[in-house]
Amino acid sequence: MSTSTQEEAELDRMTEEAAPAAAASRAPPSSRYKGVVPQPNGRWGAQIYERHARVWLGTFPDEETAARAYDVAALRFRGRDAAVNFPGPADADEVAFLAARPKAEVVDMLRKHTYDDELRQGLRSFAAGAGAGGHAAAPVPRVPLFEKAVTPSDVGRLNRLVVPKVHAEKHFPPLNDKEDDDAAPVLLAFEDGDGGGAGKVWRFRYSYWGSSQSYVLTRGWSRFVREKGLAAGDTVTFSQAAISTATAVAAGEISDKRRMFIECRKRKRTTKGGGGGGMVVDDCSHGGERVVRLFGANIAAAIGSEFTHRLIGS
């Protein structure tokens, strides 16, 4: 499937998901701004049309913010010459930022109210690259925090990654009233630590589920799994920028000392045998110990390393 087709499919899915919210906004429009509609709860919604279908951009506390969301979408969907609510010369850097991202991703940022933060991060990464003579910015020194081999349920339909308690409480912000299932979640941002995703920011909802007594990353996680092609047994690694306070102050980026990164490491998969009778053998290391899985079972531990080395041809 081409990138364009995938993008259209993602936008169609977003349009279908937005149907209930859009239905609530069918009152006669009374906003003075293009693409802005009133909501029954006193908030304001933003929407744009793509191929004669409504794309819901989210709800906002006031008309101006909703109008700004529409303008952002219009720039991405229709280019710098789009009719917007706040006319004026479009910022070239922002237009470039939008053009480099799929429409569905921009819509997702607007719905989650993370667009401004991600724009600032994107422009900062671009400026760092320009300051290095147009070359990619030097990698940020990082301190490993922890890693986790994802389970089948982590990459399944539940849209959540269970974070081990010891790491969650040590490395992530504390959650108030964690015993309360209704406690407000925290939005965590992680820069993409993989070489091919430099400059991209992943944002996940971080919560504590009292019913299962577990810390989880939820909203936004399924997109990460899908785009990275994660499968059970792959490893997700978390790290933090290793920048001193003095350096951060001098650079005017005191918050950099708290920048966190996420990257993934794929488990080696080897197919043995030909035709439809081939065996899928997963070869990876875990905690310094070699693990060879055949149909999900660790056969290295069961039958010894010499035989398994011959089995996988190493």
pLDDT digits (tens, 9 = 90+) for 245-288: 444 444 444 344 478 899 999 887 665 555 544 444 454 444 44
Position 183 pLDDT exceeds 60: no
Domains, the chain, with CATH or none: 36-125 (3.30.730.10), 142-247+257-265 (2.40.330.10)
Position 152 pLDDT exceeds 70: yes
**Is the CA virtual torsion 269, 273, 276, 279 positive or negative?**
negative
- Give the mean pLDDT of the chain: 75
Query: What percent of the chain has pLDDT above 90?
Result: 35
Separation between Cα atoms, residue 39 and residue 25, nearest integer Å: 6
Cα–Cα nearest to 186, from 215, 214, 211, 206: 206
Q: What is the pLDDT of residues 121-135, one digit of tens each?
A: 777 766 655 555 544
Separation between Cα atoms, residue 114 and residue 117, nearest integer Å: 5
Separation between Cα atoms, residue 298 and residue 146, nearest integer Å: 23
